[in-house]
Amino acid sequence: MAETVTTIDNHVIDLKDLKYYDGRRRTEITKEITDATKDKVDKVAGKGLSTNDLTDELLAKINASGTSNFSGSYNDLTDKPVDATASKAGFMSADDKQKLDAIEEGANKYIHPAHTAVASGLNKLTVDELGHVTASIPVVKADITALGIPAQDTTYTAATQTKDGLLAADDKTKLDGIAAGAQANVIETVKVNGAALTPTSKAVDITVPTKVSQITNDSKFQTEDEVEATVTGKGYQTAAQVETAITGKGYQTAQQVYSTVNTAISGLKTFGTEFVDELPATGDAKTMYFVPKTGGVSGNTYTEYMWNDAAKAFEKVGDTEIDLSGYMKKTDIEFASFADIDTIFAAE
């Protein structure tokens, strides 16, 4: 391993300390030490150097450098480079880097050309190929007349039937009173049944009959009273007279019959049924009572009873169960063959 400590004029120098100097100074000291020690001899135990090869000037520089107590952290260094400013070089900050990256390659600083300020008004402008206004001259009357506009003031009169012009207030009122799409309708003559009527104050009053008495009865129509007199004169009766005659004989009208029948029907009680475990003490003649049958089978589980008002007792209506024990079943019947029939006829 190479030594990192050397002795010059009885001063111990740790060469590792040189790395903390700036690059230029470190190079100078390293060169000076190299030049001063290029002819050195190795130390031998028990012996000393025969000559002092470290110059006084070099020794003074080393002594002036002082001792180093550096911790090894960059933050503990003094006189470190700082971020660059507009007046001093230094490190580039992150914000400056972002700004620099946002600038296109070859971009330059654009300065808009300055021009003389012009107040608002009617002006003639001159624009260069870059779109910059380079001149502004107020418009004068000659500029306007050069466009074909008359130099004198223009006046307009109200329109007439033969000349265009402004719309007069009266004409505007008249126009507003006309419906959209309206057209002129001129009625030359008004007649009633062929007889001409003369309008009065732009109006025609046509009298229309509203009563039969105002019309000539050339067809001999009769009034209600005349018809009634004619009918009664022939011996016929009116509806009211007929109704009076019928009711006087005791007959009833259809409405009276309908009312009487409805009243009678509403008093009728419909036939009903009632399922009980046993017969009550008394019953209703319009109700059939069903009492469970002992040993009944499906379809025949009740015995039916009706109440007899005259006898004040229940009558058994019947039992749906029929005793067919004395009857032959269909399966008991044996059909006769042709041979059986021949035997019967042969026996006769």
Whole-number percent of the chain with pLDDT over 90:
4
Cα(278)–Cα(272) distance, rounded to whole angstroms?
A: 17
What is the four-CA torsion angle of 12, 17, 21, 27, rounded to 10 degrees?
70
Q: Looking at residue 281, what DSSP letter applies?
A: S
Q: What pLDDT does 49 receive?
A: 55
Query: Residue 256: is its pLDDT beyond 50?
Result: yes
Query: Residue 47: is its pLDDT beyond 90?
Result: no
What three-state secondary structure class fits 327?
coil
Q: What pLDDT does 21 receive?
A: 52
Q: Give the pLDDT confidence of 271-280 residue by residue, as tens digits.
A: 788 899 999 9
Q: Give the pLDDT confidence of 212-225 residue by residue, as tens digits.
A: 777 888 887 888 88
Query: Residue 19: is its pLDDT beyond 70?
Result: no
CA 175-180-182 angle, to 5 degrees, is 85
Query: Residue 102: is its pLDDT beyond 80?
Result: yes
How many CA atoms within 13 Å lie on the side-chain side of 258? 3
Residue among 79, 77, 102, 81 at smallest CA distance from 90: 81
DSSP string, 113-152: PP-----SSSEEEEE-TTS-EEEEEE--HHHHHTTT--SS
Q: Indicate the helix (H) or strand (E) that contains 318.
A: strand 313-318
